[in-house]
Structure 1
């Protein structure tokens, strides 16, 4: 019987938590967790631990939070832990060669796309923004590049017209855990042949900005539909009416050529807002008026007058 591996886990946000949980319940031993330092959040700007830290401490793991992973002191700490394998899931920084080579089996990563498509910080959002019908997770061997290492295993996931970046985020995170554990067992058994990526097919998924959420209603309905879903929950898609910002959620395509100028409200009632685009209409079930919480359009209309003929910029 193969001895359990000593695994050093590196991850920071919610996306990494299901993978850590799967490892904790798997046949190998997680010896410590490394995550980004606590950051100030919210209106009170209080220090808050990253999700992986909270999960690791609850499991009784040692947690390290270096400001830099490139110092000799940190590398010495890792070598002292003597890991057989380093597992990285959304840690947040590119790792130096010395760290990647600090474990005999190297370092492997759980990435939220089907590589080489969508390398970078926001692969899940860009898959939805671009109207893809499928995405997945890739388990890869880490190298010094950004998501350029050899592929060990992939698992696919369908994207429905109702999916948002948030819903795909959750489903991919859950898919990553068992896929990671299966990959490690195959590695231990010597049954995986790493496959180099076809770099000619690579595409990038850069970090999103708030400005990307400003809707251009003259675009085709399918593109606006994908924008609203791909930016939900952050930074969210928005438009302006009467000088106030409104954020939009839960869109549905209405296949009927728009008769009004793009951005015009064709109907506002309990069913939602029907808004003209450059081609057809979108019906929006949820909205967030400036300074208020996200709510149903029906609830919004009780206190915010939006009516047919209004034009969102």
Structure 2
């Protein structure tokens, strides 16, 4: 079986790595991002890819930046048949990519050339796309610009979060990769170049983009909430306090009130948005507290708000 150097970090990558191991590929090395400190206690957390590597006793590398690391020479010396990435999170040096005897391949979470970059799934959900997918592509110096070997599409339900789409895309990407690698090795695939006129970029979501804007319609706000669930979460500024919103729905009714006003806090927490649309908040998280159903939030804080009052701060 062909040899592989695998690079990845989140669960998406871990699923792909597990597939390669189970299929019998000779994984000569695994590269993942350095461990992170999480929470108030700064607990050290391993990446899902690291967990898989440790479980199978695979050689593991965690450089802060691969291109300037001492580990790069060791990896280049392996001269694996394939270099495979799946949500790794770093650019790879061209000289490293050229050491692959057969091909350097990326499992990308979009239907390229749409959504090149680090947040393709979040962009697809935020933009309300009806589908996304995975692309098996050749890695080149330019970000996600290589020729394509194969693609598979996945529908997106209108209530799905990015986390749920990630979970569905991971096995799709794994299976498509395992179907494609033998064909690449045998020279049976004709690579397809990307159409430059159709390129759309999906850079990492900024801190400013996490805030739900009053310029949004209820549908746009709902889609942002879905896109940033489970991480980092979208939020509203309610009377000077940050309120994360983990789930919401577009209400069937309209409102004549300007955006940011409360329609009712009786049985639901309904807020007006652009174009007379209304958003019902369903699951929220006040600062310093755990996420909770809107019923629990209203039982504790509902009396602070009055129907017809403007409660959302301008952005």
TM-score interval (norm. to shorter): over 0.9
Equivalent in 257, 263, 266 of residue 263 of structure 2: 266
Q: Which residue of the partner structure matches residue 277 of structure 1?
A: 273
Q: Does 1:67 find its partner at 2:64?
A: yes
Equivalent in 186, 191, 209 of residue 189 of structure 1: 186
Structure 2: how far apart are the matches of 1:76 and 1:308?
65
Aligned-residue CA RMSD (Å)? 1.8
Per the TM alignment, residue 71 of structure 1 is displaced from its structure 2 partner at its CA by 4.5
Moved more, 114-123 or 209-218: 209-218
Structure 1: how far apart are the matches of 2:205 and 2:51?
26
Q: Which residue of the partner structure matches residue 97 of structure 1?
A: 94
Q: Which residue of the partner structure matches residue 312 of structure 1?
A: 312
Q: Does 1:178 find its partner at 2:175?
A: yes
Deviations 1:74-112 (A, max 9, x none): 343124333111111111111111100111112100111
SS of 1:292's partner is coil
SS of 1:102's partner is coil
Moved more, 79-88 or 90-99: 79-88
Instruction: Please say if residues 4 and 26 of structure 2, whose CA atoms lie closer than 8 Å, have aligned partners that are also in contact.
Output: yes
Distance change in 2, residues 1:268/1:109 (3 Å): same
- Alignment gaps of 5+ in structure 2: none
Per the TM alignment, residue 221 of structure 1 is displaced from its structure 2 partner at its CA by 2.2
Aligned length: 309
Q: Does 1:17 find its partner at 2:39?
A: no
Instruction: Please say if residues 61 and 71 of structure 2, whose CA atoms lie closer than 8 Å, have aligned partners that are also in contact.
Output: no
Distance change in 2, residues 1:222/1:54 (3 Å): same
Structure 2: how far apart are the matches of 1:309 and 1:284?
16
Instruction: Please say if residues 78 and 102 of structure 1, whose CA atoms lie closer than 8 Å, have aligned partners that are also in contact.
Output: no
Instruction: Please say if residues 29 and 75 of structure 2, whose CA atoms lie closer than 8 Å, have aligned partners that are also in contact.
Output: no
Equivalent in 56, 62, 77 of residue 74 of structure 2: 77
Q: Which residue of the partner structure matches residue 236 of structure 1?
A: 233
Q: Does 1:30 find its partner at 2:27?
A: yes
SS of 2:308's partner is coil
Instruction: Please say if residues 208 and 235 of structure 1, whose CA atoms lie closer than 8 Å, have aligned partners that are also in contact.
Output: no
Per the TM alignment, residue 185 of structure 1 is displaced from its structure 2 partner at its CA by 2.1
Per the TM alignment, residue 208 of structure 1 is displaced from its structure 2 partner at its CA by 1.0
Q: Which residue of the partner structure matches residue 87 of structure 1?
A: 84
SS of 2:116's partner is coil
Equivalent in 104, 110, 123 of residue 107 of structure 1: 104
Instruction: Please say if residues 218 and 279 of structure 2, whose CA atoms lie closer than 8 Å, have aligned partners that are also in contact.
Output: yes
Distance change in 2, residues 1:136/1:302 (3 Å): same
Q: Which residue of the partner structure matches residue 286 of structure 2?
A: 289
When normalised by structure 1's length, the TM-score is: 0.93
Q: Does 1:48 find its partner at 2:45?
A: yes
Structure 2: how far apart are the matches of 1:144 and 1:104?
17
Structure 2: how far apart are the matches of 1:113 and 1:276?
33
Instruction: Please say if residues 108 and 135 of structure 2, whose CA atoms lie closer than 8 Å, have aligned partners that are also in contact.
Output: yes
